[in-house]
């Protein structure tokens, strides 16, 4: 149907007689079908649309529309394709052209479509097939072939045509192969239009009556291009070189082609095993890898940015990836609460739903691999990516991670657990050598990865940037081969972090399967040579490819390729999940005066103060940051929900780095003329080299291009920009120049470099303090480069004065209650760097101190990704909450907790220190360039505080409620167990307060006397329960002897020693309400 000329066709049409026969269908296997059972638009998992109105090479008059029910719909169990007379996009008619490309592609088979054709002059319905990949000859029509199952022109009622087209057999050479049969009632009744296609011939039928055959003459592709995947096309054309040859009757429209079903069969002997979805995954993997060339295998080992390389010859799809663990970082999406917030819920059911929603939005973006969860243990409270992960404890982390992964993979999206392993700091992360003993690895840093493999069947791992004991994690055989693949039996794929591969041969011989974002080391040139020289075995390459294919088959990508669906993004379900996690993650740390929940009858004026009041700090910085489809700040929530009659006041108090206003255009001058703006010079490299490919005047520098390029002449990534000009001071005084960027910048004033941050990182704010004189002009230059991911550069400034704090204090004095929203932001906590200290930045400590002096009803709400130091102000504050980076719904969640609509139930997943100096890593972090030694061993987090007998500011597992819970009735199933026994533990919890609420019941174990140093307690089980006021519930736990074991490096085994153990049940690691002893007796 690409091009037809009836006058030419008549010279070589085979006017055939139909021969009806009973076909033996026993060998045919149904591999694809659409029975059109669901009303509405055609199934998007089966049909796409060819769209446009350019004549389609045949002078056709219709415009093919995109997903428009007027032209394509399912009704009453039939697919309706309707041609209509109406002006649309410059064409006088509309219609639809449905295709299965990418959703249904086949080499050989039986294609059966039951249809009724339209009537009237000018209609040209067709059921036909086109190649999925155009790779022969001039890569166009007719070289790549066409198979017409049914064509009909309205001026010749009932005459059905079947044809094949190729370079040699084509109408303009008067050689086209066409068969014709007469179906008198084709416009009034349904008939089966069928083609059977194999390597020898293509046969056409109507109702199993054979009337045309096109034979393979074995003369090459010019005569027979029908040896590769083709897809179905269904359409009605209007007019055109053939359909309109005898004119168009405009009064007949609208006209419909109705289709009852489409069925595709393949014979068992013609269906490649890898395309047979009924076969086991391993059989399909082995079959497909056996069909691949070595070059194709190698091509699959290097990424293409955020995907794997498709192998079109074999129909191997892409694995399409997206950051990140706390929402889909692919344009706008729902910003989910940070990982540390999810862990603070201690709710495994929410973790499953979190993963499910994340996967749903991933599919909505047309992606099928999500790069999460992030499970780095929070060894240091200043860690840049603590907010992404699940805290300091391996058991809590494993429980949240397992359910998160199950939720993701329930939606046929692959989860990627990262970063394997000990990527617990961002400082020097690309090269740092992390020294860790094996027991510490096994007990603290491995368990959550192990659980992901054994309990969640996670499909993908991401290796870490750093070295482990001298060897990069991406080529560390102990990690990736000995432990992960051999000992744990992991069958999925291991990908590198972006740019974390450092070699070709060690990596190829090791356990890494996929280099991201590209094959800089794992590429055809280097690997073919290594294989030819015997330095890398092809079996190593084959194993990596099998793992990648295994993930594809488990996701069903060969049968159901991922398709973008915006309706799956920012759904009511997404928003509800974001709210529930945000609300349940909020931790009530202090409530000494019972100010919470707020009591409206005692409030006439409420003040919202602080840098985090008017902004929704949805997440931290770096690759996990999601551009939210929407977000609700605390101030917005109060403005929309506050009861009438209560006055709301607001004052910012301080400005955080990165929040400064862009330097206005009127304060910027070009280098050589008194016109406003800066001269921007844009380079297609990252080093400002050569001549710029673009020069323009930018009114100001306030750019957030996301993952797009600043201009079409620039590459998407790896470019640089230089802005030059002059700065006009608006007044005399001290200013902070504030520059937020992702990635590096250099800034010069009067030819002197004052900021040098020329390195890769997520969005980060640099600032420089300068004294300016009103009216004076200063020469400035800003240099910026981008090296992948998002691109951001903002040049701002702010006054260095106390006026904002003074304004906030004044507002607070007149309020009945003050809510201080303090904390950090994505400019302080981010991938690429650790926080410099635990102190609240930019005078926030002073802000809290000054406000709490003038208003005793001050409530501090901390929004950060990990703990902050509070010793300078906490004694003056009676009420304190931790809300983390709470995602899009954080404002609504905070409001509902403050007013009592939600009873806070969050518990700390990380110990809150009094100061940095008391932390377990204080003696080893940043002590040796290029190396960090985990001298704290297994004593991380609360294990360290117990071991050193230090009382933290807030312990692990801590969180208050508006109600009170009482624990009682601890019972064990036995006082002594053997190695084969399980121990049942039961206790009761009663809500003794005035509010319904949730409590997290935590079970810890202590080995009374061990042959090695062991922690004073270790979390082994927990349960989150809901209790109405006055309600009592029984909580049951079960322990196995494995829960009592430690890792013995000498024997390379987990060992549970005989003797007494203590069970401790409490509301946090320091408040133990119930205790008892039992014994492990191996001879019992």
The number of angstroms, rounded, from the C-alpha of 806 to the middle of its chain's C-alpha atoms is 43
Strand partners, 783: 722, 746
pLDDT for 25 equals: 54
Q: Which residues contact 187 (CB under 8 A, 6 or more apart)?
A: 116, 117, 118, 119, 157, 158
pLDDT for 272 equals: 82
Whether residue 10 is predicted with pLDDT greater than 90 in this model: the reply is no
pLDDT for 173 equals: 84
DSSP string covering 954-998, please? B-TT--B-SS-EEEEEEEES-SEE-TT--EEEEEEEEE-SSS-EE
Strand partners, 1061: 1007, 1078
* Contact predicate 121/252, CB 8 Å: yes
pLDDT for 18 equals: 52
For residues 740 and 765, give the distance between their C-alpha atoms in angstroms, rounded to a whole number: 4
* Per-residue pLDDT band at 790 (split at 50, 70, 90): confident
pLDDT tens column, 606-650: 999 999 999 999 999 999 999 999 999 999 999 999 999 999 999
**In 652-709, at which residue ranges do the beta strands (DSSP E only) sit?**
661-662, 668-669, 678-683, 694-698, 702-706
Whether residue 17 is predicted with pLDDT greater than 60 in this model: the reply is no
Q: Which residues contact 465 (CB under 8 A, 6 or more apart)?
A: 419, 423, 429, 430, 431, 473, 497, 500
* Per-residue pLDDT band at 1082 (split at 50, 70, 90): confident
Residues catalogued as catalytic: 497
Q: What are phi and psi of 155, to 5 degrees?
A: -75, -5
Q: Specify burial of residue 87 (Cβ count, 10 A radius: 0-12, 13-18, 19+).
A: exposed
Report the sign of the C-alpha dihedral through residues 974, 976, 981, 985, in that order: positive
Whether residue 948 is predicted with pLDDT greater than 60 in this model: the reply is yes
**In 690-824, at which residue ranges do the beta strands (DSSP E only) sit?**
694-698, 702-706, 719-728, 733-742, 745-749, 752-757, 764-772, 777-786, 791-799, 817-823
pLDDT for 176 equals: 86
Torsion, CA 329, CA 334, CA 339, CA 343, rounded to 10: -160
* Per-residue pLDDT band at 801 (split at 50, 70, 90): low
Which domains does the chain possess?
6-271 (2.60.120.200), 572-658+801-907 (3.40.50.1700), 664-700+708-788 (2.60.120.380), 965-1080 (2.60.40.10)
Q: Specify burial of residue 1015 (Cβ count, 10 A radius: 0-12, 13-18, 19+).
A: buried
For residues 712 and 714, give the distance between their C-alpha atoms in angstroms, rounded to a whole number: 5
**Strand, helix or coil for residue 523:** coil
Q: DSSP character for 486?
A: I
Which stretch of DSSP H or E encloses residue 805?
Answer: helix 803-813
For residues 820 and 865, give the distance between their C-alpha atoms in angstroms, rounded to a whole number: 17
* Contact predicate 212/204, CB 8 Å: yes
* Contact predicate 961/997, CB 8 Å: yes
pLDDT tens column, 301-336: 999 999 999 997 788 999 999 998 999 999 999 999
Of 378, 383, 475, nearest in space to 428 by CA: 383
Average pLDDT over residues 1026-1032: 98
For residues 387 and 313, give the distance between their C-alpha atoms in angstroms, rounded to a whole number: 43
For residues 141 and 170, give the distance between their C-alpha atoms in angstroms, rounded to a whole number: 10
* Contact predicate 648/689, CB 8 Å: no
Pairing status of strand 791-799 against strand 733-742: antiparallel
C-alpha distances in angstroms, 843 versus 73, 664, 758, 774, 847? 62, 25, 27, 26, 6
Q: Which residues contact 1056 (CB under 8 A, 6 or more apart)?
A: 979, 1041, 1042, 1044, 1045, 1080
* Per-residue pLDDT band at 287 (split at 50, 70, 90): very high
Q: What percent of the chain has pLDDT over 70?
A: 97
* Contact predicate 718/786, CB 8 Å: yes
pLDDT for 24 equals: 53
Average pLDDT over residues 376-394: 98
Q: What Rg do the C-alpha atoms of the chain give, in angstroms?
A: 34
Average pLDDT over residues 475-494: 98
Q: What are phi and psi of 183, to 5 degrees?
A: -125, 95
Whether residue 388 is predicted with pLDDT greater than 70 in this model: the reply is yes
Q: Which two tokens stand for residue 409?
A: 């993979």
pLDDT tens column, 700-742: 999 999 878 899 999 988 999 999 999 999 999 999 999 999 9
pLDDT for 789 equals: 79
Of 260, 233, 237, 49, nearest in space to 125 by CA: 237
Average pLDDT over residues 1036-1042: 97
pLDDT tens column, 75-118: 999 999 999 999 999 999 999 999 999 888 999 999 999 999 99
Q: Which residues contact 284 (CB under 8 A, 6 or more apart)?
A: 273, 274, 275, 276, 549, 553
pLDDT tens column, 745-776: 999 999 999 999 999 888 889 999 999 999 99
* Contact predicate 910/1019, CB 8 Å: no
Angle, alpha carbons 968-974-978 (nearest 5°): 140
Please compute, for residue 851, the number of CA atoms within 13 A of its CA located in the half-sphere on the CB side.
Answer: 37
Which stretch of DSSP H or E encloses residue 1016?
Answer: none
Q: Specify burial of residue 239 (Cβ count, 10 A radius: 0-12, 13-18, 19+).
A: buried
Whether residue 474 is predicted with pLDDT greater than 60 in this model: the reply is yes
Whether residue 802 is predicted with pLDDT greater than 80 in this model: the reply is no
pLDDT tens column, 576-609: 999 999 999 999 999 999 999 999 999 999 999 9
pLDDT for 197 equals: 95
For residues 722 and 745, give the distance between their C-alpha atoms in angstroms, rounded to a whole number: 10
For residues 185 and 777, give the distance between their C-alpha atoms in angstroms, rounded to a whole number: 87
**In 56-121, at which residue ranges do the beta strands (DSSP E only) sit?**
62-64, 72-75, 78-88, 91-95, 97-99, 109-116
Whether residue 3 is predicted with pLDDT greater than 50 in this model: the reply is no
Please compute, for residue 316, the number of CA atoms within 13 A of its CA located in the half-sphere on the CB side.
Answer: 27
pLDDT tens column, 871-929: 999 999 999 999 999 999 999 999 999 999 999 999 999 999 999 999 999 999 999 99
* Contact predicate 351/403, CB 8 Å: yes
The number of angstroms, rounded, from the C-alpha of 980 to the middle of its chain's C-alpha atoms is 42
**Strand, helix or coil for residue 188:** coil
Peptide bond into 581 cis (omega under 30): no
Average pLDDT over residues 805-820: 96
pLDDT tens column, 152-172: 999 999 999 999 999 999 987
Q: Where are the alpha helices (DSSP H) in 855-940?
A: 890-899
Of 135, 105, 460, 29, nearest in space to 317 by CA: 105
Q: Which two tokens stand for residue 412?
A: 């046929």
Whether residue 2 is predicted with pLDDT greater than 70 in this model: the reply is no
The number of angstroms, rounded, from the C-alpha of 1083 to the middle of its chain's C-alpha atoms is 51
pLDDT for 16 equals: 44
C-alpha distance across the termini of the chain, in Å: 82
Q: DSSP character for 262?
A: E
* Contact predicate 746/755, CB 8 Å: yes
């Amino acid at each position: 149907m690409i091009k037809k000329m009836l006058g030419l066709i008549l010279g070589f049409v085979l006017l055939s007689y139909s021969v009806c026969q009973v076909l033996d269908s026993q060998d045919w296997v149904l591999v694809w079908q659409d029975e059109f059972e669901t009303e509405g638009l055609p199934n998007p998992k089966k049909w796409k649309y060819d769209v446009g109105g350019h004549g389609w090479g045949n002078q056709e008059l219709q415009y093919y529309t995109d997903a428009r029910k007027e032209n394509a719909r399912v009704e009453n169990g039939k697919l309706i394709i309707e041609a209509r007379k109406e002006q649309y996009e410059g064409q006088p008619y509309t219609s639809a052209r449905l295709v299965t490309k990418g959703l249904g592609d086949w080499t050989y088979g039986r294609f059966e479509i039951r249809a009724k054709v339209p009537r009237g002059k000018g209609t040209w319905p067709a059921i036909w097939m086109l190649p999925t990949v155009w790779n022969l000859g001039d890569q166009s029509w007719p070289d790549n072939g066409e198979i017409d199952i049914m064509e009909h022109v309205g001026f010749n009622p009932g005459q059905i045509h079947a044809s094949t087209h190729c370079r040699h057999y084509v109408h303009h050479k008067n050689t086209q192969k066409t068969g014709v049969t007469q179906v008198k009632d084709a416009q009034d009744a349904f008939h089966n239009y069928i083609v059977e296609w194999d390597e020898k011939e293509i046969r056409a039928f109507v109702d199993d009556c054979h009337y045309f055959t096109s034979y393979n003459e074995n003369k090459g592709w010019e005569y027979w291009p029908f040896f590769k995947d083709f897809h179905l096309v269904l359409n009605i054309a209007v007019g055109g070189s053939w359909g309109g040859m005898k004119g168009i009757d405009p009064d007949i429209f609208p006209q419909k082609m109705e289709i009852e079903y489409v069925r595709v069969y393949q014979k068992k002997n013609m269906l490649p095993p890898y395309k047979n979805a009924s076969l086991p995954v391993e059989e399909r993997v082995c079959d497909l890898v056996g069909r691949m060339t070595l070059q194709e295998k190698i091509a699959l080992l290097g990424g293409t940015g955020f995907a794997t390389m498709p192998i079109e010859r074999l129909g191997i799809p892409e694995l399409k990836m997206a950051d990140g663990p706390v929402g889909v970082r692919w344009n706008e999406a729902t910003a989910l609460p940070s990982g540390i917030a999810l862990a603070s819920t201690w709710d495994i059911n929410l973790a499953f739903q979190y993963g499910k929603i994340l996967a749903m939005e991933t599919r909505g973006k047309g992606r099928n691999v999500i790069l999460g969860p992030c499970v780095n243990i929070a060894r240091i409270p200043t860690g840049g990516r603590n907010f992404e992960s699940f805290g300091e404890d391996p058991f809590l982390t494993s429980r949240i991670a397992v359910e998160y992964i199950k939720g993701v993979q329930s939606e046929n999206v692959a989860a990627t657990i990262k970063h394997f392993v000990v990527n617990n700091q961002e400082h020097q992360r690309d090269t740092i050598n992390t020294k860790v003993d094996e027991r510490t690895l096994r007990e603290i840093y491995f368990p959550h990865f192990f659980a992901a493999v054994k309990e969640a069947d996670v499909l993908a791992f991401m290796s870490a940037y750093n070295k482990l004991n001298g060897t990069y994690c991406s080529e560390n055989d102990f990690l990736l081969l000995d432990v992960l693949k051999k000992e744990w039996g992991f069958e999925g794929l291991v990908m590198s972090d972006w740019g974390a591969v450092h070699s070709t041969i060690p990596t190829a011989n090791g356990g890494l399967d996929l280099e991201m974002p590209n094959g800089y080391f794992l590429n055809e040139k280097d690997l073919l040579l290594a294989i030819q020289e015997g330095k890398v075995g092809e079996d190593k390459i084959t194993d990596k490819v099998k793992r990648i294919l295994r993930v594809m088959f488990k996701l069903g990508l060969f049968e159901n390729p991922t398709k973008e669906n915006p309706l799956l993004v920012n759904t009511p379900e997404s928003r509800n999940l974001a709210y529930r996690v945000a609300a349940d993650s909020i931790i009530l740390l202090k409530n000494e005066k019972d100010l919470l929940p707020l009591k409206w009858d005692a409030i006439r004026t409420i003040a919202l103060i602080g840098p985090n009041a008017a902004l929704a700090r949805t997440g931290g910085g770096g690759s996990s940051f999601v551009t939210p489809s929407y977000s609700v700040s605390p101030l917005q929530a109060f403005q929309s929900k506050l009861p009438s009659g209560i006055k709301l006041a607001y004052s910012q108090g301080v400005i955080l780095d990165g929040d400064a206003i862009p330097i206005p255009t009127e304060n910027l001058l070009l280098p050589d003329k008194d016109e406003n703006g800066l001269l921007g010079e844009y380079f297609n490299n990252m080093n400002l080299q050569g001549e710029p490919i673009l020069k323009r005047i930018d009114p100001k520098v306030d750019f957030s291009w996301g993952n797009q390029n600043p201009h079409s002449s620039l590459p998407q990534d790896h470019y640089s920009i230089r802005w030059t000009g002059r700065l006009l001071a608006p007044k005399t005084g001290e200013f902070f120049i504030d520059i937020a960027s992702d990635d590096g910048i250099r800034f010069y004033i009067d030819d002197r470099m004052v900021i040098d941050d020329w390195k890769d990182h997520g969005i980060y704010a640099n600032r420089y303090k300068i004294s300016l004189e009103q009216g004076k002009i200063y020469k400035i230059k800003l240099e910026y480069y981008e090296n992948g991911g998002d691109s951001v550069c903002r040049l701002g400034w702010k006054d260095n004065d106390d006026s904002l704090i003074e304004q906030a204090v004044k507002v607070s004095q007149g309020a009945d209650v003050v809510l201080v929203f303090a904390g950090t932001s994505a400019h302080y906590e981010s991938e690429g760097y650790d926080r410099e200290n635990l102190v609240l930045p930019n005078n926030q400590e002073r802000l809290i101190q000054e406000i709490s002096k003038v208003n005793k009803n001050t409530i501090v709400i901390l929004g950060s990704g990990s703990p902050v130091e509070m010793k300078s102000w906490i004694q003056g504050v009676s009420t304190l909450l931790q809300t983390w980076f709470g995602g899009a719904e954080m404002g609504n969640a905070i409001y509902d907790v403050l007013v009592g609509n939600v009873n806070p139930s969050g518990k700390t997943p990380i110990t809150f220190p009094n100061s940095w100096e008391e932390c377990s890593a204080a003696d080893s972090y940043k002590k040796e360039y290029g190396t960090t030694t985990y001298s704290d061993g297994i004593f991380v987090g609360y294990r360290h505080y117990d071991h050193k007998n230090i009382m933290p500011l807030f312990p692990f597992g801590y969180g208050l409620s508006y109600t009170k819970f009482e624990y009682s009735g601890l019972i064990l199933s036995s006082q002594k167990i053997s190695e084969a026994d399980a121990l049942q533990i039961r206790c009761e919890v009663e809500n003794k307060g005035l509010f319904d609420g949730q409590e997290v019941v935590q079970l810890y174990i202590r080995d009374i006397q061990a042959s090695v140093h062991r922690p004073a307690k270790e979390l082994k089980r927990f349960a989150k329960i809901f209790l109405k006021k006055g309600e009592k519930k029984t909580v049951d736990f079960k322990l196995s002897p494995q829960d009592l074991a430690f890792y013995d490096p000498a024997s390379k085994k987990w060992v549970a020693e005989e003797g007494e153990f203590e069970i401790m049940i409490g509301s946090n690691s320091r408040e133990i309400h119930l205790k008892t002893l039992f014994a492990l007796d191996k001879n019992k």
